[in-house]
Amino acid sequence: MDSIDEIQSFLRVDARLDLKAVALGCVLGLTGTEDGRCMLLRRPCLLSALIFLAQDKSESIAKEACLAIVNISAEELGSRSLLFSHDSKGTAQDADSDNNIVVVMIKMIMDPDSCLADHACMILSNLTRPSGNIEHVILLIEKCGFTLDQVVSVFTTQGYNRRGANLHYLGPMFSNLSQSITFRRFLMDHERCIIQRLLPFTEYESSHVRRGGIVGTLRNCCFDIENHDWLLSPKVDILPCLLLPLAGPEEFEDTEMDKLPPELQYLPESKLRETDPDIRKMLLEALIQLCAKRSSRELMRERNTYLILREFHKWEKDRTVLLACENVVDILIRTEDEIGEDNIHDIDVPLELHQKFQKMDEDFIKD
């Protein structure tokens, strides 16, 4: 029996607490190195044992098991092993199984008295990062006794967890899941109020993780052109929520100010712009997607989007973000005759021009 097999023999729920703790400590240490993680991934039964121990009656044991799973799931191979390791055919597990990692983590998140809900959020965020895992995770969430609507409600309910868990990492999980058309259809169901409940978190100061996750989710939703009119309509009104984090405390002439959405008018001197350049870039990427249709471009011009972006461009220092801003402005300042197409995606750009523009963008960022 090698050392890993010996350790695994103590990773049982019914093992003595002290032996279980020592064995789990060894496993947690191994998850901190690439070689250690590779060694563990060759033992599917050990991964299964960790999922069982994440539900241990001892909070300290359960916490260490969750920390080990966080580390293992951070890499694609580890996340897939945790999702599929118990099925030799590589298919998703039975949603009723106590060793189904998605079901176990969702139950932790939905339990308001769980002290491990934040760890569970991190694990699900990791599991959904590889695009090949997303549909499996959605399927399991829908079969585990809770709805996606309930998961969103938990995220948007302040103080839901009574043990101090903040559930911020559900934001990145939503962003990952929104790569799937299945999840985007759920978010943008016109008969329900789902995406509207996420909009306020574009300005959530307490956590850039939550803020960035929701901005990423909204950015992905903006890729669905068929929903642009609805997203920009009063039923959702996404535009102010994308522009407000990019707005500063600048004062404008009354004639300019009156054209802005009310949320962007007469902002206080203390108004700060989004501090994270990656989030600023995602906001601009959402805006450029919304520029696809003529009706959307006209609405964005009417609501003086250019004014906010003009002042933002003066302030921005990050070259990658500046380029994203200029791409939006370049569309908005053109007349519709110059654009020449209702849907901007219908414009046929020759390959040589596309390559030339790409090279220009790369040179701009490097400059």
pLDDT digits (tens, 9 = 90+) for 239-286: 999 999 999 999 999 999 999 999 999 999 999 999 999 999 999 999
Q: Is 343 exposed, middle or buried (0-12, 13-18, 19+ CB in 10 A)?
A: exposed
Is 87's pLDDT higher than 50? Answer: no
Angle at 246 (CA atoms; ends 242, 249), nearest 5 degrees: 130
**What domains can be seen in the chain, in order of their start residue?**
185-367 (1.25.10)
Structure tokens at 317: 């220092």
Task: Count, in order, helices (H) and strands (E) of the chain.
Answer: 23, 0
- Long-range CB contacts (< 8 A, 24+ apart) of 308-317? 308/243, 308/246, 308/247, 308/260, 308/264, 309/246, 311/247, 311/248, 311/250, 312/246, 312/247, 312/248, 312/273, 315/248, 315/273, 316/280
Q: What is the pLDDT of residue 359?
A: 62
The predicted model gives 201-216 an average pLDDT of 98
Is 366's pLDDT higher than 90? Answer: no
The predicted model gives 329-355 an average pLDDT of 78
- The CA distance from 259 to 164, in Å, is 43
With cut-offs at 50, 70 and 90, classify the pLDDT of residue 91. very low
Is 335's pLDDT higher than 70? Answer: yes
Q: What is the pLDDT of residue 95?
A: 57
Q: What is the pLDDT of residue 1?
A: 40
